[in-house]
Amino acid sequence: MSLVTVGSVAFDALETPFGKTDKIIGGAATYITLSASYFTEKNNLVAVVGDDFPQSMIDILESHGVDTQGLEIRKGEKTFFWSGKYHNDMNTRDTVEVQLNVMGDFDPKIPDAYQDCQYLMLGNTSPTVQRLVIERLHNRPKLIVLDTMNLWIEIANPDLMELLKLVDVLVVNDEEARQLTREYSLVRAAAKIREMGPNTVIIKKGEHGALLFQGDQIFFAPALPLEEVFDPTGAGDTFAGGFIGYLAQTDDSSFDNMKRAIIYGSAMASFCVEKFGAERIMNLTQEEIDARVREFIKLSAFGLV
Amino acid sequence: MSLVTVGSVAFDALETPFGKTDKIIGGAATYITLSASYFTEKNNLVAVVGDDFPQSMIDILESHGVDTQGLEIRKGEKTFFWSGKYHNDMNTRDTVEVQLNVMGDFDPKIPDAYQDCQYLMLGNTSPTVQRLVIERLHNRPKLIVLDTMNLWIEIANPDLMELLKLVDVLVVNDEEARQLTREYSLVRAAAKIREMGPNTVIIKKGEHGALLFQGDQIFFAPALPLEEVFDPTGAGDTFAGGFIGYLAQTDDSSFDNMKRAIIYGSAMASFCVEKFGAERIMNLTQEEIDARVREFIKLSAFGLV
């Protein structure tokens, strides 16, 4: 089924204990659409860049089947830029610099060809923009998944609370879940978030896996234990892309299928951290993904029935 | 099969955000033997207490089938005492007071009736005492499982390194694994620990579950997501008791059976944290344990083959 993804397409400059990059391609929607491209063929992007954004990168997205009709290129303006530096534990990072540029007044355009969208992924950007995308779709998609971040919880809380009423699934990390609800227990945090609107809550715990909450059901997906995390940038977006890509491909949003979607999302995220930026998820084969999913099965099956 | 457990039997005084206790019964071997008692009938304790230790508590251990012939009661001396205070996140704690008392020169006695021991659990105490227990058993047990803590890694490192050569399984938490190996990655830490001696390594991650490493195989056991952790004291020992109790009961130390043993250990630990001290694991039914294990199955099964 058709997927629409909105979010940032950006330049990132990264520094980790393993090295640093110049400006490379980043942004939530880049990671999400690349990751989803391994699952769904109708993969539509809504984003904005400046005319400094390289055509070669647009070509890479298109070669992955991403429809870029909804990628606005603003003449004479610059692409969103973020630079960050990871601490030695790779779990925490500092933002070194942010240049909003074209994201400062992002006005999302929905091409007519996207109007049949059944699955909508609201990648991390302001709640105002995320809401505009919902409003500009003529029909409500079957499933709306929302990602957000600490910044919006702090500076756009009322907008975010209104938006939460409109979505089916919220994907956040553990810190964001706690910040949003002021509950330390993730079980309680998920329950409070479900009172805010989303029927389903996914809490990402990085190297500790992810939790899926729906009704009184809980599912726990492990993360693959890795010798080395080279660069965690985009892992959460890659997870979300694999998750919604799998749901769009299978067109089944049951709890049981969401479990499988989370395993695929986790597998995609485990690739993402192996190289800088989106490099690894630009170059995956179906065989590699299937083999990685088999590792997850081995990792968590224990043969009690 | 017959299990011997060595470790502390102690008084604890605990303070958590939910309340505080006067002196209650604690100690690694208390939690381990109580937890193992739900699995194995030959459950032998090696420990030392002072004559201030209440007979009523010895009666409780015996009512759980724990053989206390190896529990030395020293006249005119006092039982080991520890008091600790948990921080608000319940993941970190400060030791408020330690009185070694009888543990200062613990000289473990192995009753003849324990000499047929097939499974040996070296609960947390000094590496010197743990080694003495191995030496005083006439035959090497089939499986020796070792627990230790940051204190011994710091102050008795050479003794601990010698001891590691003698054991099959090391059970530590993530911080201890990192401290012991100076590796941040738990995959690398486990590999280094296996070079130190143990064939199998279990790394406990508290609310994030546990990892089992053997050869190039990894298994990840989730922790049950809880609304509230009332008191984490003894959860790690309870986990170890369930793990080795299940192995002793089934008399199967294969990797596949260790996976199941870890699930049972995790289920036992999830009960432990529900009340202060060992109260909850003194009062469990087989039905409760079976139901909890079914929760773990639901929590982690995702139906991909």
Question: Is A280 near chain B, with CB under 8 Å?
Answer: no
Closest in B217, B225, B260 to A218, CB measured: B225
Nearest-CA residue of chain A relative to B89? A184
**Taking 70 as the threshold, does the pLDDT of residue B166 lie above it?**
yes
What is the mean pLDDT, run by run of 10 residues, along chain A of 305 residues? 97 91 95 98 97 97 98 98 88 90 96 97 97 98 97 96 98 96 95 98 96 96 92 96 98 97 98 95 97 96 84
B-chain residues within 8 Å CB-CB of A174? none
The residue in chain A having the minimum alpha-carbon distance to the alpha carbon of residue B300 is A220
Q: Which residues contact B4 (CB under 8 A, 6 or more apart)?
A: B44, B45, B46, B70, B110, B114, B117, B119, B120, B121, B133, B137, B141
Q: Which of A256, A303, A305 sits opposite B259 (nearest CB)?
A: A303
Flag whether pLDDT at B228 surpasses 80. yes
For B3-300, CATH number? 3.40.1190.20
Residues from chain A that touch B182, judged by Cβ atoms under 8 A, are none
Hey, is the C-beta of B192 within 8 angstroms of any chain A C-beta? no
- pLDDT score recorded for residue B305: 66
How many residue pairs bridge chain A and chain B with CB atoms within 8 Å of each other?
91
pLDDT in the model for residue A228: 86
pLDDT for A305 equals 67
Establish if A256 touches chain B: CB-CB under 8 angstroms. yes
Beta strands in chain A (DSSP E): 3-6, 10-16, 19-20, 24-26, 43-50, 66-74, 81-86, 93-99, 119-122, 143-147, 169-173, 200-204, 210-214, 217-221
Q: How many angstroms away from the CA of A253 is the closest CA of chain B?
A: 14
Q: Which of residues 18-57 of B touch A (CB under 8 A)?
A: none
pLDDT of residue B87: 87
The average pLDDT across B79-108 equals 91
pLDDT for B94-129, tens place per residue? 999 999 999 999 999 999 999 999 999 999 999 999
A218 touches chain B (CB under 8 A): yes
Q: Where are the domains of chain A?
A: 3-300
Decide if pLDDT at B44 tops 80: yes
Please indicate if any CB of chain B lies within 8 Å of the CB of A78: no
In the 3-class helix/strand/coil scheme, how is A129-182 assigned residue by residue?
Answer: HHHHHHHHCCCCCCEEEEECCHHHHHHCHHHHHHHHCCCCEEEEEHHHHHHHHC
Burial of A139 (0-12, 13-18, 19+ CB in 10 A): exposed
Sheet holding A119-122, edge to edge: A66-74, A43-50, A3-6, A119-122, A143-147, A169-173, A200-204, A210-214, A217-221
Query: Token digits for B58?
Result: 């010895």
Tell me, what's the pLDDT at B206?
92
Q: Using one digit for the tens of pLDDT, what is the confidence trace for B184-215? A: 999 999 999 999 999 999 999 999 999 999 99
Confidence at B272, pLDDT banded by 50, 70, 90: very high
Q: What confidence score (pLDDT) does residue A209 get? A: 96
3-state secondary structure of A299: helix
Chosen from A204, A257, A300 to mutate, greatest number of chain B CBs within 10 A: A300
Q: Two tokens at A248?
A: 């769009």
Q: Please check whether residue B184 touches A, CB under 8 A.
A: yes
Q: Encoding tokens for residue A239?
A: 């997870």
Query: Could A256 and B303 be called an inter-chain contact, meaning their C-beta atoms sit closer than 8 Å?
Result: yes
CA distance A124 to chain B (A): 26
